[in-house]
Structure 1
Amino acid sequence: MGFDIYCRVSEVGGRGGESFASSEEQEAAARAWAEQAGEEVDEVVEELDVSGSLAADARELGRLIHRVEAGESEGVIVRYVDRFGRDMVENALAHDRIVAAGGRLIATASGYDSANLNADTRMIFHIQSAIAQAQRERNRESRMAGKERAVARGVYGAPAPFGYDRDDDGRLQPNRGADSVREIFRLRAEGVGFSDIARRVDGVLTRSGVRRVVMNRAYVGEQRIPDPAKKGNPRVIPKSHQPLVTEAEWEAANAVKGHAPTHNGLAAKTYLKGIVRCGICGGTMHVCAYGKARDKMTYACTSGCGGTSMSVAKVEPAVLYQLDLAVAQRAPQVAAVIEGDNRYADALASVEDAKAALAEYRDNIELQQVLGVSDFIAGLRTRKEAVETARRALRDVPRPEPVGSRKMTLEEFDVEDRRRFYQRVIAEVLVFPRSEPQRLRMRWQGAENSIVVQPFKPVKLAQADPIAELQKAA
């Protein structure tokens, strides 16, 4: 049983010269120590382009330490302590694991051997680890300063997104894919699914590629670079390059929730598909066929919760009769839709107002000085939460869906037209098991509580046609 050698280079690039300690040089120094000490070498691990800030188990070093802990290795040899790692805490944890397992950590050029561990040598190891971490942080700060200077000149500090090319100065310029990007945002704002968009637009992007385009803030002209002072919270550089979409177009596309696929089977014959949910688990209920001739339909929960089912013939007449009553009585839940629904436009405007308030507050230097750091940060957090609240509200507002371009028969148009209207008015219909006294409930869009839906009993009533009312108002 012998020692393992660990060699690491954080960033190879085009580096070289006397100051660059290549993995070959690190291995040669470790082997020279082993030969002089009369020790055998078992395994050599080389890691290139791997940061020393990572924990040992996030690198191959962790496997070598596991070998020591399993009694398969005498220890680990590195050239310098900074090759072992560049984080004080992680270095100490990895070091103590080796020592606790009865192994040795050797840093040949640093003159460190854990076999001589005492208070003074442990202090030396910690000091060398602290120096390694400080050097890593200085290097990162230097790189960030250089990146910030480049960004100030208009250079884009990341790979060019789809729809852009770099010019000779590193700035982003729209290319032939820019029109495809605009089409992607337009289709997504209309509620088209990512897979359908990928099929319609060029065919050069996958579903996940389309999704990344929609979520990328680069298309509104922003660039984001890491902020050393706020880890995980990047610095936003607005107006960094020519935008391809407006803020309103970006928000509209990102407000779309998962789009239900188009089916031409049983569900295509129902009015309330996608709205009817299981009262037990809340999952969307599917339309299934039953009967000897399979000519009857039922809404059924197939999620495995042991929920329930109810025939379409019982659910839809009862719910639509409740809607007819609301239309006839000019109930406020549906009046807004019939008379002109501005909820989506209002919700989008609320997002823009919240974002403008956040930007105005964040850029007010005088206010920062008056409030102080802690109070200013609290106010900033409140305004960020207001933006997210407005975005959530926008996602919950039903959008008017445009009529598709495919040709439909009069009967098909009637179903599609009515279905869109019902989805704009009704948030959900809940079906409960037979053991419940009230099996059917529904909730209007924008309402917090649901109402009981009684079984449908045909009566002679001067009912108002909601679609006719909608067309009359138009």
Structure 2
Amino acid sequence: MIKLPPGNYCSYLRKSRADLEAEASGEEDTYKRHDRILLDLAKRYGVVIKETYREKPISGERISERPEMIRILEDVEEEKWDGVFTVEVERLARGDTMDQGLVAQAFKYSQTLIVTPMRIFDPNDPNDEEYFEFNLFMSRREFKTINRRLQGGRISAVEEGRYIGSVAPYGYIKYKLPVGKGFSLRPHPEQAPIVQLIFSLYTDPDPEKRMGTTSIAEYLNDELKVPTARDARWIEATLNDILRNPTYLGNVRWGSRPLVKKKNTKSRPRRSRKDSNEHKGLHVPLIDVETFELAWKIRESNSNSKGPKAQISNPLAGLVRCGMCGGPILYRPYGGKNPDALICTKKGCPNVSSYLYLVEERLVQSLGIWLDGLKSQLNTRQETQSNRQEDTKINALLSVQRELKKQLEEVKKQQNNIYDLLEQQVYTIEMFKERAKVIAERYEEVKKAFDETEAELAGLRRRVEAQYETIPKLEKCIDGYRMAKTPAEKNALLEQVIESVIYTKKVGGRWSGAIDQFDLKIIPRISPQKTP
């Protein structure tokens, strides 16, 4: 039997669609079976698998969607492993040509072996490299063939009126067709009347009595106290999805929101009804054609057409948050009748609005106080109690860090010892895996404490440095703000020094004389020693 060279080896496990279907039919868990196969294989080759990368059972075509694959590639590139065990080379990459190239290059340049039950791949061997790339190519081709067959099956199912969604829409129950393959829908005894009520309120024959989605949501939440299918509160987006869904008309559809892939992102833009694959379904409609078409027309007439990209009209845009509900504080122009204001638009939030110019004045004044405080601290030569406490804390953290570093080295020695005990057959595989898990948890615990200590030390050191960096930025912001001509210029200056501003006002002040009685809490973009 061929022996692998001594070194560090790991394994990579990933479930395929076929594996998930087999498990659903009652077969053994795929990861247990593959783990056993690879451990036996490692034993025959005379090596020990020190770590297993176990991908969650998700459908990830790209490497970017598979977190364990990303982690193992990073470790391979850092030459952490001499070889990677996997049941099939196809498990490593089934994405596009770019992903396959990333996998091939990572293993080739790090000279990492790929060990499977069928063959050992040495990426630097021309024959193995060619065979490896051919396997990846065939895997990608098989994947695309399977995907086309699945898509074709879905389209055929829709054309036959079967429901192919994974979850039934609100108002219906999904059930297995008694004859043949596929599923259909039947009305939900409690939810179906709610769907009909939603359409009735939205399309009332009297336009004056019609309710919009906001009013309907409030009515369902506060008056009827009816939850959504997920036992949550109704919102406008949920109601809009119901009002545009042709399933309630008795139809089924596919391709209404196709997956659009770009270099680093994915999106699902909504298609128009005429461009999606929509057919008459086998289920009973909840809404008649006239009501559905009327709801569609009302929605279209109420929708806002997209205009040109807006100019920033609020100098505090994106910076101010509500101190009571945590939501954004928005700009409210009044067109000359009253000064423009800042207001929290969340329903029921008691935070009182204020005029924009008052908030601006207070904010610039607070920045000036912050600047004066920083300058005063740097000009003070005497050693303060605060500085002494800070130095003591730094020394204590350094001592803790040294002790944690020693503990990390001891845990690493323990890890090496258990591999020796396994090779000497003092430990069985089960005992080894149990002990390895305990040591790994201990290592992660100590490593986490070490990282937290290091981060706290870095934060303390950055505070003094931040004072020197923040002073010129604050001076530039304050001077530039007074001279800026547009809200966009002011906003850009504030974003250089401010992460956010928390606004709180508990009492209205227009008639009580407390017009400027509000609180601002500035969250700096660079954390100084003291905040205003």
Q: TM-score, normalised by structure 1?
A: 0.49
Q: TM-score, normalised by structure 2?
A: 0.44
